[in-house]
Amino acid sequence: MALDMSGDQSLSRRAMKAELLDAETELRLAYAWRDERDEEALHRLITAYMRLAISMAAKFKRYGAPMNDLIQEAGLGLMKAAEKFDPDRGVRFSTYAVWWIKASIQDYVMRNWSMVRTGSTSSQKSLFFNMRRVQARLEREAMAVGETLDKHQLRQLIATEVGVPLHDVEMMEGRLAGSDYSLNATQSAEDEGREWIDTLEDSSEQAAERVAHSHDTECLRDWLITALGALNDRERFIVRERKLREDPRTLESLGTELGLSKERVRQLEAAAFAKMRKTLEAQSKEVRAFFAA
């Protein structure tokens, strides 16, 4: 069954005119829905308590969400309550529905407060909705006895009062300081004002850096080719397999392939590096200038 919640004003007016259910009628409707899936009974039950949902939604207007959206979420919570309500427990439906309505509204507020997830635990959710109230009470109590609380003391008292770690209070204080702002918003009211995104540093590689990197890579490549050219085929093979592969081979595997001992492969590798170093030293001025830059 879908509940038509289009237009919060018209819905509010209809809710105020809805019937007031006594305990006996409420129980009968709850049984009819649970046992017979009587949608007419469900409709009467939901409509009768929609005023309760609207009243609870109004308490969350200060979080900046549209009232119509809050009423819709409250209505969804009310329908969840009707779906899960067990009339055999001897509890009034209105008492049971309050928890589901409040939970639905709170989830909506927290989902839409920030793109960053604001609270993932029940204690963090409690902190989100109670922090300002607890803070105001603690400040009043301190003033009443002539005390002044600094920010750290106040945060510590809030953490103790709500039962959360101090870092949760510090995090939530930043979250409650304001909702998200668009980086495409202008910094001033002028039409040609610079957008906030223009103040962010560009972390991508700049053109000059790309040119320099390309030049350096080409120089290193040329020097490596020249140095390798001074080696014989076996030495070049060992250097390539040991140093130029993504997955370098071991001395032992190369020795097996070449029919040499592991120690002999190590000696050939060292000799090859010595030859390459000598070749590079012949270009010492250019090489030293490159690495000194």
Instruction: Identify the pLDDT of residue 20.
Output: 87
β-pair partners for 186: 195
Which CATH architecture describes the domain 8-113? Up-down Bundle (1.20)
At 186 the three-state DSSP class reads strand
Instruction: Identify the pLDDT of residue 56.
Output: 92
Cα–Cα distance for residue pair 248/54, rounded to 1 Å: 69
Instruction: Identify the pLDDT of residue 288.
Output: 57
Q: Which amino acid is at 234?
A: R
CA-to-CA separations, 221 to 193, 226, 227, in angstroms, rounded: 48, 9, 10
Instruction: Identify the pLDDT of residue 2.
Output: 43
Is 207-292 assigned to CATH 3.30.70.141? no
Instruction: Identify the pLDDT of residue 153.
Output: 86
Instruction: Identify the pLDDT of residue 1.
Output: 44
Cβ count within 10 A of residue 74: 27
Helix (H) / strand (E) element for 100: namely helix 93-113
Instruction: Identify the pLDDT of residue 115.
Output: 46
Instruction: Identify the pLDDT of residue 244.
Output: 86
Instruction: Identify the pLDDT of residue 278.
Output: 85
Cα–Cα distance for residue pair 16/52, rounded to 1 Å: 10
Instruction: Identify the pLDDT of residue 164.
Output: 83
Cβ count within 10 A of residue 17: 9
CB 4 within 8 A of CB 50: no
Cα–Cα distance for residue pair 251/257, rounded to 1 Å: 10
Enumerate residue ranges in the chain where pLDDT < 50: 1-3, 5-6, 115-116, 180
pLDDT digits (tens, 9 = 90+) for 245-257: 888 899 999 999 9
